[in-house]
Chain A
Amino acid sequence: MQDKSILEQYVEIAGADVVEHLRQLARRLKGLHVVHVNSTRVGGGVAEILHKMVPLMQELGIETSWEVIEGEAAFYQCTKNFHNAIQGNRVNIPETQLKIYEETNAQTAEILRESLQDADIVLVHDPQPAALINHFPDRKGKWVWRCHIDASRPFRPVWKYLRNYVSQYNASIFSLAGFAQRLPHPVYLIAPSIDPLHEKNVELDEREIREVYERFKIDPERPVILQVSRYDRFKDPVGVIQAYKLAKEFIPHLQLVLAGGGATDDPEGEIVLNDVRSAAEDDPDINILVLPGDAHRTINALQRAATIVLQKSIREGFGLTVTEAMWKNKPVIGGDTGGIRIQVTNYHTGFLVNTPEGAALRIRYLLHNQDKLLEMGLKAREFVRENFLITRHLREYLTLIYVLLHGEKDRIELD
């Protein structure tokens, strides 16, 4: 697998027809200069996708580069505040931080001038580099702002500030229609994706899966339900424990694993984790794991070891943990919210639920219907293969580039 080009590796996973479609679509884009700009090369979903997206576009003959905006601690504090405010938290950002944000963008604009000024397409990811556009009044190409955040209910004063920059772009991209804001340019909808070759998603051998059973003292002979998510009230980990307890009355050998990130700069996280621990009441069949941010293979193995995966969120962005679990042949019991809704369909890839009771009922249903569980798992994987792999994401980026270059027509016929 290693000796093959990236596209060839995807032929085996996504299918030869999918890769051929990409090649045909990219044929007329050869030589085009595309630049992605984000705020980090390491960590986070955006960087993960760009690590594959950029070489894939290069392999298709598109001159693609990846630039990063960097700043001091106050810059990141400001952009973290932007992130929280776009998600709806009432965050008042001090003027001093905004000034640093603007200065960092101005300085970065000078560093990146050569790369960005003449690029045909510039894809700016999230708010961190959004203000760069202010410094390129004579830009040659089309600039697109890609918002990976759920902006359905932004904190208005902060959105108003950012909107001044975002409005200057030729277009923007949101993950779902419900996440989008009105803007004075076309707002495209492109769902995120997972990379099947990433450590989080690659196939693992049995030994590695067995190892997590041993490490976390999970009994491989008994059913395991799993939720992977940070300890956040919107992910409803306490509701997961309630569902587990309700189901355990009927399935006494049931085990629950909650796997989430460690205490970060989010003070709420520690409080929620304490609530989770007290709700678990020292039940030996509940495993509460606090894993480091780079424990990708461990998460991968846990998802493969689980019988059913839960994502019982009350509010959710796209929910890529759902996609990851489905890719591993797991039916998902998910909260009826956000992007979980377009991934989970009742009786096909899992169940949508609104309460711990609903989740408990579906756990019992699946554990008593093993054939259905396996069938839904297979369907889930195929659904992800067709819709949520990076190859689909890339196809939509290529389509977007054409429509940016050819204007607002409903149908663009290429020669």
Chain B
Amino acid sequence: MEANKSETAPFFIKDCALIAIATGKRAQNLRELREHLRDISPNSIYYHFWGGLLRPRFDDPEYHNDFAIWIAHGLHNKVLAERLAVIDPAKLEAPEDLRDELIETIEEYLDEAEYLTWSKRDDQFEFIRSQMVVFDTHISVREPEEFVQAVPRMAVGSIFYHFIDGRRRNENSLDDFQNWLLEFGNKYNDLRMNIDRIDPYFPPLKVLRDELSEVFNNYFKG
């Protein structure tokens, strides 16, 4: 059964801003990192995987999460950095899965390692978490076709909120776009599949916006 226009609540476009908070937890070697990873808040792990999208960094960083970056540059351990860099948070459904995957990978390396390297004091891993403020832009979409116009105008904060953050807010782990399209029943399954093919982890938010825009454009104007 397909919902019609009047039955489906509009998609309210929201925007967000993030602020970083020092947790005071620091690691100077792999063992310390592993110990903190055991009890650090899920928010902090999330920040170190996804927060890079909203803070100073280059569009094509060598490694895409802060743990891999620190292990490569602070501990000069390229082997483990590569192993951690391939962990894709978009493929792991629960935040705890991400924690487990990190700890498992580090422990596996520790089992092999002959000795521990230490970072310089000024090069420690700093565990950071964040708080997010979400606000309404007072723009809404009633029909999926309206995204053709709306997506290119969305702020990068809106892309982060709906396309990245939505995955941890929605029970089905889908982004807000796909989640909303589900309300129309099967009608937009092909569109949802095309959105699902966009890799959220590697591109910067502006590129993600372009990719989303292209998907909506091809589907409706194609």
- The 8 A CB mask of B66-100 against A (1 = contact, 0 = none) is 00000000000000000000000000000000000
- The 8 A CB mask of B120-136 against A (1 = contact, 0 = none) is 00101010111111111
B17 & A25 in contact (Cβ 8 Å cutoff):
yes
B19 & A399 in contact (Cβ 8 Å cutoff):
yes
Q: CB-CB < 8 A to A402: which residues of B?
A: 133
A161 vs B22: C-alpha distance in the bound complex, in angstroms? 22
| A18 smallest CB distance to B (angstroms) | 9
A415 & B136 in contact (Cβ 8 Å cutoff):
yes
Q: CB-CB < 8 A to B129: which residues of A?
A: 410
A400, CB-defined interface residue at 8 Å: yes
Stretch at the interface among A56-64, A98-106, A380-388: A380-388
A188 vs B22: C-alpha distance in the bound complex, in angstroms? 6
B21, B56, B135: the one contacting A383 at CB < 8 Å is B56
| B54 smallest CB distance to A (angstroms) | 10
Q: CB-CB < 8 A to A414: which residues of B?
A: 133-136
A411 vs B133: C-alpha distance in the bound complex, in angstroms? 6
B157, CB-defined interface residue at 8 Å: yes
A178 vs B126: C-alpha distance in the bound complex, in angstroms? 7
A388 & B56 in contact (Cβ 8 Å cutoff):
yes
A351, CB-defined interface residue at 8 Å: no
- The 8 A CB mask of B1-45 against A (1 = contact, 0 = none) is 000000000000001011111101000000000000000000100
Taking each of A21, A174, A348, A395, which has the highest tally of chain B beta carbons within 10 Å of its own beta carbon? Answer: A21
| B32 smallest CB distance to A (angstroms) | 15
Q: Are A21 and B15 also in contact (CB < 8 A) when A177-B126, A178-B126, A387-B56 are?
A: yes
A403, CB-defined interface residue at 8 Å: yes
Taking each of B128, B134, B135, B165, which has the highest tally of chain A beta carbons within 10 Å of its own beta carbon? Answer: B135
- The 8 A CB mask of B53-65 against A (1 = contact, 0 = none) is 0011010000000
| Closest B residue by C-beta to A25 | B17
A396 vs B155: C-alpha distance in the bound complex, in angstroms? 16
A412 & B131 in contact (Cβ 8 Å cutoff):
yes
A196 vs B88: C-alpha distance in the bound complex, in angstroms? 38
| Closest B residue by C-beta to A191 | B56
Number of interface residues of B (CB under 8 A): 28
A20 vs B133: C-alpha distance in the bound complex, in angstroms? 16
A68, CB-defined interface residue at 8 Å: no
Stretch at the interface among A179-187, A241-249, A275-283, A358-366: A179-187
A398, CB-defined interface residue at 8 Å: yes
Number of interface residues of A (CB under 8 A): 45
B137, CB-defined interface residue at 8 Å: yes
B22 & A396 in contact (Cβ 8 Å cutoff):
no
A189, CB-defined interface residue at 8 Å: yes
The A368-409 residues at the B interface (CB cut-off 8 A) are 383, 386-388, 395-396, 398-400, 402-403, 406, 408-409
Q: CB-CB < 8 A to B122: which residues of A?
A: 152, 178, 337-338
A68 vs B55: C-alpha distance in the bound complex, in angstroms? 32
| B165 smallest CB distance to A (angstroms) | 8
Q: Are A398 and B132 also in contact (CB < 8 A) when A17-B155, A348-B58, A383-B56 are?
A: no
A141 vs B212: C-alpha distance in the bound complex, in angstroms? 43
A24 & B22 in contact (Cβ 8 Å cutoff):
no
| A320 smallest CB distance to B (angstroms) | 14
Q: Are A345 and B21 also in contact (CB < 8 A) when A189-B128, A412-B131 are?
A: no
A32 vs B190: C-alpha distance in the bound complex, in angstroms? 48
Q: CB-CB < 8 A to A121: which residues of B?
A: none
A21 & B155 in contact (Cβ 8 Å cutoff):
yes
- The 8 A CB mask of A171-212 against B (1 = contact, 0 = none) is 000100110101000111111000000000000000000000
| Closest A residue by C-beta to B157 | A21
A77 vs B148: C-alpha distance in the bound complex, in angstroms? 62
A413, CB-defined interface residue at 8 Å: yes
A90, CB-defined interface residue at 8 Å: no
A388 vs B17: C-alpha distance in the bound complex, in angstroms? 16
| B210 smallest CB distance to A (angstroms) | 15
A343 vs B20: C-alpha distance in the bound complex, in angstroms? 17
| Closest A residue by C-beta to B168 | A411
A11, CB-defined interface residue at 8 Å: no
For the A-B complex with A177-B128, A178-B126, A408-B131 known, give 7 more contacts whose Cβ atoms are closer than 8 Å.
A21-B157, A178-B124, A337-B122, A410-B131, A411-B131, A413-B134, A415-B136
Can you list 9 A-B pairs, Cβ within 8 angstroms, ordered by A?
Answer: A21-B17, A177-B126, A190-B19, A342-B56, A386-B56, A388-B56, A409-B131, A412-B131, A412-B134
The 4 closest A-B pairs by CB, nearest first: A177-B126, A387-B56, A189-B20, A399-B17
